Amino acid sequence: MAKFLTKRDENYARWYNDLVIKTEMAENSAVRGCMVIRPYGYSIWEKMQAELDRMFKATGHVNAYFPLFIPKSFFSREAKHVEGFAKECAIVTHYRLKNDPSGGGVTVDPTAKLEEELIIRPTSETIIWNSYRNWIQSYRDLPILINQWANVVRWEMRTRLFLRTAEFLWQEGHTAHATRKEAEEETVRMINVYADFAENYMALPVIKGYKTESERFAGAIDTYAIEALMQDGKALQAGTSHFLGQNFAKAFNVQFTDRSGKLDYVWATSWGVSTRLIGALIMAHADNHGLVLPPRLAPLQVVIIPIYRDNEQLEMISQTAMKIKNDLENAGISSKYDDRDTNKPGWKFADYELKGVPVRIAIGPRDIENGTLEIARRDTLQKEVVGNDGVVERISALLEDIQKNIYNKALEFRTKNTFYVEDWKDFISVLDNSGGFIMAHWDGTPETEEKIKEETKATIRCIPFDSPEEEGKCIYSGKPSKRRVLFARSY
């Protein structure tokens, strides 16, 4: 059992926070709401970035970088956008400090006041579309398929490591198209990329669907999302892709000449995922022993630990271990041989379990005699003694199996915790007991949606793309409904 106190079932929120701190993934900083992403947490983000970046490039996108600062006036141009972000902005008003005349330290120099305040970007549609205006004249300049890796700031009052922080890291795609159809296709393409990443790399099953009007991105015509279920029965939005219509083109006057010579406004999308995904990864798979990392995102896939009494034993073991390590590395499997003499094997076992390393190999003197190894998998904690021939093939297959197993376990959990509910009493009962995903009928009005939220804190996570047409009655109003939507309490 790992050396942190809180068990998952006792206090999920504390278990999560303990886990993030004890694994040294992240911690709170001296600045309210801002976290420090420590090397272990950041190395997982680097793995995520590498895969996502590859996927973005494979779908034709390129990276660029736009300013951190957004002039205040840009914000007001798209009415819903400003409404959505104005209340949580960090605002730069001055550009110089001076020595404090009353002594001790520095103070803001009042003579260095900006003419127009600058907002730290909470998202970059406005500053980007202001640039696109100069880049786009004709349909020949389209599409523009740009992604940006950046930090953004939203002044959240209640923060939690990775899940909700004032500053976070993310990527934001911003594309410009000649036709509505192309932009809509792009919006779908990118939500599919996100779903592919979540399922095949994070081992996280997700539901793809439309957001309701009240849950849409501020300034979007349509928002698609992927929603995942965490182990405490709450939903987590893991990525969004927005069809922005011509809203930002109109706000920033971005027009182009189409093939027929007619002037029209440009069509837009934007889409993003953030360091929040690290929170999802933890909350979906981790257990009382610590993290459980899917092999495809694990910074370290295999650790090899020697078990020995004296130097002679260690030397023999090291020979075998280093050969295995080299063979694994040559096969593209990241591995480490931990022969530090400062810690006992048992301590190391617990530490790598805590860190979620998918496979542990232990080698002792008897293994050397017998030509064997002990292989332990993190996901099930099962151990097995095997012959030391064909190690690479075995480990390679095992990593694949772990990747699948973690996914299947999460899928099974979701299936067990998805409830088809027909009436209000059952709806409340599910929320108050197990939590989970609730597929239920809704009358389609924002009023009902709002009332359900007020009374239960459950929201419509999405209208799943694959939710079939079906006659039913709204669980709240009893009015007719054509399809079920996905309700849950959420992060």
Binding-site ranges for a copy of itself (CB under 8 A): 27, 29-31, 34-39, 42-43, 45-46, 62-76, 82, 86-99, 104-106, 108, 117-120, 127, 130-131, 134, 140, 146, 150-151, 153, 155, 167, 169, 342
Rounded least distance, CB 69 to a copy of itself, Å: 5
Shortest Cβ distance from residue 452 to a copy of itself (Å)? 29
Considering the complex, what minimum distance in angstroms separates the CB of residue 114 from a copy of itself? 9
Between residues 39 and 346, which has the closer beta carbon with respect to a copy of itself? 39
Which CB, 131 or 318, lies closer to a copy of itself?
A: 131
The residues facing 71 across adjacent strands are: 118
Cβ-Cβ contacts under 8 Å for 172 (sequence gap 6 or more): 123, 124, 147, 148, 150, 152, 270, 271, 272
Query: What is d(CA 346, CA 307) in angstroms, rounded to the nearest whole number?
Result: 10
Minimum CB–partner distance for residue 471 and a copy of itself (Å): 44
Q: From the CB of 487, what's the least distance to a copy of itself, in Å? A: 31
Strand partners, 376: 360, 383
Least distance between a copy of itself and beta carbon 238 (Å): 20
Looking at the Cβ atoms of 149 and 349, the one nearer to a copy of itself is 149
Our CB check for a copy of itself shows the closer of 61 and 325 to be 61
Nearest residue (CB) to a copy of itself, 259 versus 457: 259
As a whole number of angstroms, the distance between CA 427 and CA 433 comes to: 10
In Å, how far from its chain's centre is CA 447? 30
Task: Tell me the C-alpha distance between 371 and 306, whole Å.
Answer: 14
> In sequence order, what E strands does 189-266 have?
207-210, 222-229, 235-245, 255-257, 263-265
Q: Are 143 and 185 in contact (CB under 8 A)?
A: no
Q: Any long-range contacts for 462-470 (C-beta under 8 Å, 24+ apart)?
A: 462/207, 462/208, 462/209, 462/210, 462/211, 462/224, 462/225, 462/227, 462/486, 463/209, 463/210, 463/211, 463/212, 464/207, 464/208, 464/209, 465/208, 465/209, 465/210, 466/208, 467/209, 467/439
Task: Identify which of residues 96 and 366 has a Cβ nearer to a copy of itself in the complex.
Answer: 96
Q: Please check whether residue 121 is in contact with residue 153, taking contact to mean a CB–CB distance below 8 angstroms.
A: yes
| Residue with smaller CB distance to a copy of itself, 74 or 194 | 74
Q: How far is the CB of 144 from a copy of itself (least distance, A)?
A: 9
* Contacting residues for 395 by C-beta, under 8 A, at least 6 apart: 302, 328, 333, 359, 361, 375
Q: Which is nearer to a copy of itself, 62 or 385 (CB)?
A: 62
Report the distance separating Cα 72 and Cα 130, nearest Å.
13
Least CB distance to a copy of itself at residue 53 (A): 9
Residue with tokens 């929201």: 459
**Phi, psi (deg, nearest 5) at residue 231:** -70, -10
DSSP string, 320-373: HHHHHHHHHHHTT--EEE---SSS-HHHHHHHHHHHT-SEEEEE-HHHHHHTEE
C-alpha pair distances (Å), 351 with each of 22, 290, 309, 314: 10, 9, 21, 21
Kindly tell me which of 139 and 194 has the beta carbon lying closer to a copy of itself.
Answer: 139
CB 93 to a copy of itself: min, Å: 5
* Residue number with CB closer to a copy of itself (150 or 375): 150
Using DSSP bridges, classify how beta strands 383-387 and 418-420 pair: parallel, antiparallel or unpaired: unpaired
The residue among 13 and 31 lying less far from a copy of itself, judged by its C-beta, is: 31
State in angstroms the smallest separation of the CB of 331 from a copy of itself.
20
Shortest Å, Cβ 240 to a copy of itself: 22
Q: Are the C-beta atoms of residues 479 and 443 closer than 8 Å to each other?
A: yes
Nearer to a copy of itself, 60 or 371 (CB): 60
Closest CA to 355 of 6, 20, 50: 20
- Minimum Å gap between C-beta 151 and a copy of itself is 6
